[in-house]
Amino acid sequence: MVTGRRIRVRGQVQGVGFRPFVWRLAARFGVSGEVSNDAEGVLVLGFGRDLDGFERALRTEAPPLARVDAVESSGCDVARRDGFAIVASGGPGAETQVTPDAATCAECLDEVRGVGRRAGYAFANCTHCGPRFTIVTGLPYDRAQTTMAPFGLCDACRAEYENPADRRFHAQPVACPECGPRAWYEGSGAGAGNAVTRAADALLRGEIVAVKGLGGFHLACDATNAQAVALLRTRKRRPAKPFALMAPLAVVARHCGVSRQEEAVLSGPAAPIVLLVKAGAALPDAVAPGQGTLGWMLPATPLHHLLCDAAERPLVMTSGNVSGAPQVIGNDEARATLGAFADGFLMHDRAIARRLDDSVERVDPPMVLRRGRGRVPGTLALPDGFSDRQVVAYGGQMKAAICLIKNGRALLGHHLGELDEPLTWEAFLQADRDYAALFDHRPAAVACDLHEGYRATQHAGGLGLPVMAVQHHHAHLAACLGDNLWPLDGGPVAGIVLDGAGLGTDGTIWGGELLLGDYRGVERRAWLAPAPLAGGDAAAREPWRNAAVRLAAAGLDPADRFHGKPVAMLLDAARRGINAPLSSSAGRLFDAAAACLGLCPDVQSYEGEAAMRLEAMAVRCEGAAAFGDGCRIGVDAVFRELMSDAIPAPHRAWRFHAGLAQAFASRARALVAAGEARAVALTGGCFQNALLLRLTLGALDGVPVLIHRQTPANDGGLALGQALVALAQMESA
């Protein structure tokens, strides 16, 4: 034995080439010993001439996909040996993190486009790229515990896999045409060439092709072909919701402005969908009707690169599902479910362990709008002051996502969808089991929404654990605080919370609030003047209902604007409180404003359509609408102006945004000036609206402001806030 060190490395350090990285460092610093993976991360037992330099490099250098959360070192006796060895993984466990799926790296893409044995191969990968979370079935992360287990390594791949100097050393999905997964095309009509060529030919003929990706199937068509886009909309019964697009960066730049920051996000390992402002060559309006932005992603796998290379034009690449249902992941499931949509299928035989939608992000201002492929299961550090107790939180009814707290970090899970949909509910239950098993999670408490009618809340109540019900908007505020690492004892903040709906502590439906508080508790300081949601849930689908109520309250006759609608009957029912709960919802206020300007007044074909069209219409102009004083933020003057045809409609749309921003910002600023709040936090789904966010930030110039960056401002971030509130209240109990 010899005196040495026991070094524990925690974080995202498995499946990312960390052990060969340690092996190379050991040679560089003259260290002998061994490195292994185990349930807690990476363990190094070493001795040698420059252990200090070696340990410092562990902390400051890392492979591209690694993230080091902690390096813990202690002296110990180490078995004397010559050289440095990479030894087998330890026993199963889940104290480390599974790596998110990563887009194809430059080296692998060169091989795919080259002349070697992986030329044209759709499943090339290495420790710097490729599938991870979507194929792992257990921990520790070894090939036998992934969906690559059925594919035995050929001699050439095994040599790469076992060579520490090779970038494919212990890359669990390593494969080549001789031993790995294969792709094929199923479709009608004659076609020469390989699977990708046949799929590309079908797309260029105007057909719809279902493409199996990392986290599920996409439905693809030629984005330059208006007839093909219209056909996909008709078949999928998706009349207006924007389609995502895929193309190489050079093609994206022909159709949108791309800043350096946007290029960096597009080209990063996560390869998310990024919202970009339209510019340059126009695509058919049916790609994103009425929108000023397009959602683009770069090819994330060799299969997608090959398909884009063969098609040589931008492709629509939208989730392969029945609208409202989860994304399809299995081959037989795809044939049965997507057969009514697709003319052909680009299939492969590597199973998908779990479905993941594409992440959606915006760069200016920065925000993750949907967490999915490439971002999950990446974890977030907890702010200072929180304990490492294990808690699970289940979010809300819409944009459902699960959050697990363990070892001082938060795992905010992937986007699941609306829990009213039976298949989404099944996916929620599966994700709950999956995350708990994969991360060996044993919660001491469960957090959920205050609304007892939410399925997630009911699920929480049936687990036999202490349940902590968190008010919807308090959870939004806490999520924003957590995203910004606001300490547990960082002091109160003024939270501007603008969203669709959440049950308030007074039994009414909130949605446009100014809160004052922190993780432990909040008080409501101001709110939008409430209005009845005439028709209940129908008010969220039919914007004219909200407009009629707001116009009547402003002393105007809504029948003048909404001819043929049962306005009188609606207002009478609202006055009598028949299926018309009171709400301060900012989301419904946006719907009402949009309807007044003629934007989809009859019905929204997808959530947020009216608000998104209103934002797209708005242009910058001087002045802002005046909102009321006091706790109730009145909007009557706003609606009188919205009906003034003397002002161009785009100007009215902008003034609505500016007035709403100013009304809340002025009150929040006053709380900071009075010393009651130390900062302002902007949260809730309405702050996905880039114009509203920019105007609110402008109105708060000079005041510390917190916004969402790594977590969604919408209900997709709700579970994180619930978990943090639960932890804070457990600490105070």
Residues annotated as catalytic (active site), given as ranges: 19, 37
Other Cβ atoms less than 10 A from the Cβ of 371: the count is: 28
Residues linked to residue 232 through DSSP beta bridges, in sequence order: none
Using alpha carbons, select from 443, 442, 464, 461 the residue that is nearest to residue 452: 461
Q: State which amino acid sits at residue 406.
A: K
Alpha carbons 410 and 378: distance in angstroms, whole number: 9
Nearest to 501 by CA among 546, 467, 459: 546
The tokens for 627 are: 């909102």
Question: What one-character DSSP code corresponds to residue 370?
Answer: E
Six-digit token pair at 641?
């102006």
Is residue 412 within 8 Å of residue 719, measured between CB atoms?
A: yes
Contact 347, 211 (CB under 8 A): no
- Residue 448 φ/ψ, nearest 5 degrees: -155, 180
Read off the tokens for 271.
Answer: 């390869």
Which residues make beta-bridge pairs with 361? 274, 368
Cα–Cα separations (whole angstroms), residue 40 to 30, 440, 647, 698 = 26, 12, 63, 45
> Where are any strands of DSSP class E within 292-439?
293-297, 315-319, 344-348, 360-362, 367-370, 380-381, 391-393, 403-406, 409-412
Residues 6+ apart with CB under 8 A from 440: 93, 94, 95, 139
Cα separation, 407 vs 65, whole angstroms: 21
Furthest-apart CA atoms within the chain: distance in Å: 91
Residue 727, CA distances (Å) to 215, 219, 323, 405 in order: 32, 41, 36, 9
What's the DSSP call for residue 101?
P
